[in-house]
Amino acid sequence: MEGPEATKRRGAAASGGGGGDVDRMPEDCLSLALSLTTPLDVCRSSAVSSAFLSAAKSDMVWGRFLPPDCQGILDRSAVPVMVSSRRELYFRLCDSILVDGGEKILWLEKSTGKKCYMLSARTLQIIWGGDNRYWTWVSVPDARFPEVAELLSVCWLEVKACISSRELSPGTRYGAYLVMRLSPSSSGLADPPQEVVISVEGAPSSTRRVHLQEPQRVSSNSQGGPSSQAPQGSDAVCVPRERGDGWMELEMGDFFVEAGGEELVEVWLRGWQSLHWKSGLIVHGIEFRPMP
């Protein structure tokens, strides 16, 4: 039969006060231990006991998860960031801020604190992008920037993004993603495939073939007539996929950010292998995010 003390201990654990001997540790020690984990671990630990909950709110903990160049990031913010604690600042940055005159978006990956960026279409090097015979700049309600680039018609399609590895989190493999959509009248973007090349300080890191629009293959259906189907197997290349914000994204490739380096990362989308007319691509920007 369970004694009174055992019942008391079990009740404390059930009510969130069951941290045991850990609860008797100084809060600074708990905070230091938590700061050596990850933001996700800290959020989970806050449910263990009141002592963990208190330690998990400490500036000591969240200060270690903020980027080393945090003050520089805040100085680049398009609007002042007003917060009362480092924990609040961390989650404010996870929500994203506009930087560099509103031409880029920066946010932290909530579970790790690693930096993510989205470069607006205006920051990209788009061949013929300044000629309104080939590209037009328009505002759309669900865009995160004032303008996006819409392709009217070109034979030579080339879009390039550049970012310094210093702006990203060291020791991390990043993916580059074209955020885009297609206009109802888009054409010439399915076949042949386009090419994406990513280089780090001039050295190729990733090369792949992509389709800006998923191509349809003609085959015979069960009634003997033609039907359309997406390419599969060895013919498959990367195609855009739907996002939760109403846009599409195309995985362009990946690269690794070395610790302590400052290298130029360049991403090229090239659609000039076949000089046929292409139209209807709407470019929102290019994102750089840690790979899963």
The predicted structure's pLDDT at residue 28 = 62
Residue 101 predicted with pLDDT over 70 = yes
Residue 229 predicted with pLDDT over 60 = no
Give the mean model confidence (pLDDT) for residues 60-81: 93
More confident residue, 19 or 245: 245
Binned at pLDDT 50, 70 and 90, residue 88 comes out as: very high
The predicted structure's pLDDT at residue 11 = 44
Binned at pLDDT 50, 70 and 90, residue 274 comes out as: confident
The predicted structure's pLDDT at residue 33 = 65
Through-space distance between the first and last CA atoms of the chain, rounded to whole angstroms: 50
Average pLDDT, the chain: 84
Residue 1 predicted with pLDDT over 70 = no
Give the mean model confidence (pLDDT) for residues 145-160: 97
List the single range of 1-15, 27-41, 54-68, 171-185 with lowest mean pLDDT.
1-15
More confident residue, 271 or 199: 199
Give the mean model confidence (pLDDT) for residues 108-135: 97
The predicted structure's pLDDT at residue 237 = 81
Binned at pLDDT 50, 70 and 90, residue 67 comes out as: very high
List the single range of 42-46, 101-105, 221-225 with lowest mean pLDDT.
221-225
Beta carbons within 10 angstroms of residue 207's beta carbon? 12
Residue 217 predicted with pLDDT over 90 = no
Domains of the chain (ranges plus CATH)? 67-108 (no CATH), 115-290 (2.60.120.260)
Give the mean model confidence (pLDDT) for residues 115-134: 98
The predicted structure's pLDDT at residue 124 = 99
Residue 94 predicted with pLDDT over 90 = yes
The predicted structure's pLDDT at residue 227 = 33
- 175/181 Cα distance (integer angstroms): 19
Give the mean model confidence (pLDDT) for residues 1-9: 48
